[in-house]
Amino acid sequence: MAQKVRAAYDFDAQPGSGELSIRENEILTVIRENIEGGWIEGRNAKGQVGLFPESYVNKIQSMKQHMVLSIDYFSVPKLFYRF
């Protein structure tokens, strides 16, 4: 499953720059990460593709990752019980 991010801030792309304008709370699909200068290439819900600043978005944890973390937490044996 492709990594998703949520925009924390608005970003207005410069025309003809290959940048993608994003709006706060918008969900984007990551295409490429760690592009020189702190950029991410991503796609919005309209199918538009472009670059936006990595510092303007937060990664969204997938449900699968969340479930694994929850299972790991609850599967830890309880070693010390007092009766």
pLDDT at residue 2 in the model: 84
- Residues 52-64, mean pLDDT to the nearest whole number: 88
Which positions ≥6 away from 60 have C-beta within 8 Å?
3, 4, 5, 6, 27
Sign of the CA dihedral running 44, 47, 48, 54 = positive
Q: Which domains does the chain have, with CATH numbers?
A: 4-74 (2.30.30.40)
Structure tokens at 60: 């969204």
pTM attached to this predicted model = 0.73
Taking residues 50-73, what's their average pLDDT? Answer: 76
**Exposure of 68 by Cβ count < 10 A (0-12 exposed, 13-18 middle, 19+ buried)?**
exposed
Q: For 4-39, write each residue's pLDDT tens digit.
A: 999 999 999 999 999 999 999 999 999 999 999 999
- Contact at 8 Å (CB) between 82 and 50? no
Residue 65 host element (H or E): helix 63-74
Q: Which residue do the tokens 């949520």 mark?
A: 6
